[in-house]
Structure 1
């Protein structure tokens, strides 16, 4: 069966993506200058040149403007594309590093700002468990599709351990004010999961 590449997004989808990106950029700018708690949805919408209703069409809450990203679908796709003989931990590690490299190269400062906000803002930090649990389920499902013989518990533990490794690397990166290399930190964290 021949697979065809997905057609490029149409004008409507590109406009929606541009609006969403603009809202997120302006929100991050305002959060960094005014503080998260001191910034309103109305201020974000005005800075982005949209109505507050347009804001809510793209983000259901103020927290979502920081938390929302396209990383999970990217990582799931990268896991599924890993070589068949690769074990789950290696597949997860390589998929996360490949996805992170793409984000790190194009949006390093935005990633640093978003991650710092999540770690330093109690309202956002409190929601991290729910978001991580949802991501863990997605990663578990992607890993299970590659290695159905592996027990479900083993796959869940690998997904959870991988997320813990990435979260620890992100925390070290934020604490260094971005001076450390995030992809190297992720590699180091995964080496801890699989000592020589």
Structure 2
């Protein structure tokens, strides 16, 4: 059974997605989210540092870093990263596809959130670059590979969110396939 903290966090996420769908991201305040979830604004901020965090936070960075570190160091940095992310994706429990779609669709349709996604992406890029440099990849190559892979994934996921396709994994796989199938 979920803890009280987890239940509150889930109520806040549900309330936010409902309100964002009804009123749009910009037309919804933190106070309205908290009220719909039956908590105070202070409680909201105990769970999320900002409204954008409801949509752009990524809890998978540690799994991604470990999966990349497990890839053979002889692989080029982009292939190593793509294969690590593919491995991480296969290890993770499958998320609720419709919730992911709604979250990403709101991001895709809200210009201000496109900028917010950059901070989450930067954190993931740091984890990726760290895993690559720990295995001997030069820092500049690791940073470039991390940025390239995250750009491909973000593009694939945001585009997927605007469709009715229920196969989230396929969107991720297509992005990773493009990266691994580049011609030199």
> TM-score w.r.t. structure 2 length?
0.83
- Where does residue 153 of structure 1 map in the other structure? 140
Query: Which SS does the other structure have where 2:94 is aligned?
Result: helix
Question: For this pair of structures, how many residues does the alignment match?
Answer: 181
Question: Unaligned regions of 5+ residues in structure 1, if any?
Answer: 1-10
Whole-angstrom distance in 2 between the partners of 1:186 and 1:92: 13
- Where does residue 110 of structure 1 map in the other structure? 99
Residue by residue over 1:125-158, the C-alpha shift from the partner in whole angstroms, topping out at 9 and shown as x without a partner, is 122333322321121112222x22x211111111
Question: Unaligned regions of 5+ residues in structure 2, if any?
Answer: none
RMSD (Å), alpha carbons: 2.5
Q: How much has 1:118 moved relative to structure 2? A: 1.0
- Where does residue 167 of structure 1 map in the other structure? 154
The 1:63/1:83 distance shift into structure 2, 3 A limit, reads: closer
The 1:50/1:77 distance shift into structure 2, 3 A limit, reads: farther
Q: How much has 1:101 moved relative to structure 2? A: 4.8
> TM-score w.r.t. structure 1 length?
0.78
The 1:122/1:102 distance shift into structure 2, 3 A limit, reads: farther
Q: How much has 1:184 moved relative to structure 2? A: 2.4
Q: Which has the higher contact order (CA 8 A, sep 6+)?
A: 2
1:69 pairs, out of 50, 53, 58, with 58
- Where does residue 79 of structure 1 map in the other structure? 68
